[in-house]
């Protein structure tokens, strides 16, 4: 898109355009490094309208964050609470869904980690959904496997490994690309292949 073409998209209303611009800038630069003027410029909309529609920078951030996280967990919830599927089937579905989401939003993990670790309790929704997660049918299956002796270590290890193997490549992506170890296409191909590999690996880990 050229500089001129990037200008006002009059099809979408102001509020929505601002929100999308904010989502883009926040995820790229993080909360602290984002200037309200960046958001206004990205949307090509007057600065004052950010506060007019969203009251404050922080309120806008919380809105976007809540929406994003909520959307993520809405996708995961039916998977982890499906009482008809096995543990492995659930993990397969999680891996597939999650990697697909990350392929579409590659800088999402860096964003979450940055906000998560910079301390502020801007994200109560994360811990809320975290609790929901650890009360899920998936976790019940895991703890039962553990107490029955089939799983020989703390169940939380399975979640750590699942999420670690899914998310880490995207965190390290800038490193892989900048160092020339992987091209963007190679990265994409490997991550796509991991959709099938990770469940296999997890199965072996569980049965060890």
Q: Which residues bind DNA (CB under 7 A)?
A: 14, 34-37, 45-52, 55-58
Looking at residue 170, what DSSP letter applies? Answer: H
Q: Which is nearer to its own copies, 1 or 32 (CB)?
A: 32
Q: Find the shortest distance in angstroms from Cβ 14 to its own copies.
A: 27
- d(Cα 43, Cα 1) in Å, to the nearest integer? 14
CA separation, residue 17 to residues 3, 5, 62, 63, 116 (Å): 17, 15, 17, 14, 26
Would you count residue 167 as binding its own copies (CB under 8 A)?
yes
Residue with tokens 């659930």: 90
Q: Are 94 and 80 in contact (CB under 8 A)?
A: yes
- Binding track, positions 125-164, relative to its own copies; x by CB under 8 A: -xx--xx--x------------------xx-xx--xx-xx
- The percent helix, strand, coil of the chain (3-state, each to 5) is 75, 0, 25
3-state secondary structure of 106: coil
Residues 68-127 that bind its own copies (CB under 8 A): 107, 109-111, 113-114, 116-119, 121, 126-127
Provide the binding-site residues for its own copies, judged by CB under 8 A. 28-33, 107, 109-111, 113-114, 116-119, 121, 126-127, 130-131, 134, 153-154, 156-157, 160-161, 163-169, 171-172, 174-176, 178-182, 190, 193-194, 197, 200-201, 204-205, 208
């Amino acid at each position: 898109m050229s500089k001129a073409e990037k200008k006002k998209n009059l099809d979408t209303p102001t509020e929505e355009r601002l929100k999308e611009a904010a989502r883009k800038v926040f995820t790229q630069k993080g909360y602290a490094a984002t200037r309200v003027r960046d958001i206004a410029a990205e949307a090509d909309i007057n600065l004052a309208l950010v506060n007019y529609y969203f009251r404050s920078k922080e309120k806008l951030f919380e809105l976007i964050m809540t929406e994003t996280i909520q959307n993520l967990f809405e996708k995961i919830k039916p998977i982890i609470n499906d009482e008809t599927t096995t543990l492995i089937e659930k993990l397969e579905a999680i891996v597939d869904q999650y990697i697909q989401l990350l392929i579409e939003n590659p800088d999402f993990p860096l964003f979450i980690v940055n906000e998560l670790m910079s301390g502020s309790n801007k994200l109560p929704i994360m811990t809320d959904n975290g609790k929901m997660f650890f009360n899920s049918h998936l976790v019940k299956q895991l703890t039962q496997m553990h107490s029955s002796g089939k799983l020989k270590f703390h169940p939380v290890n399975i979640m750590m490994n699942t999420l670690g193997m899914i998310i880490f490549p995207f965190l390290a992506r800038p490193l892989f690309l900048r160092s020339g170890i992987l091209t963007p296409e190679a990265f994409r191909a490997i991550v796509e292949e991991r959709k099938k590999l990770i469940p296999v690996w997890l199965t072996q880990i569980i049965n060890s």
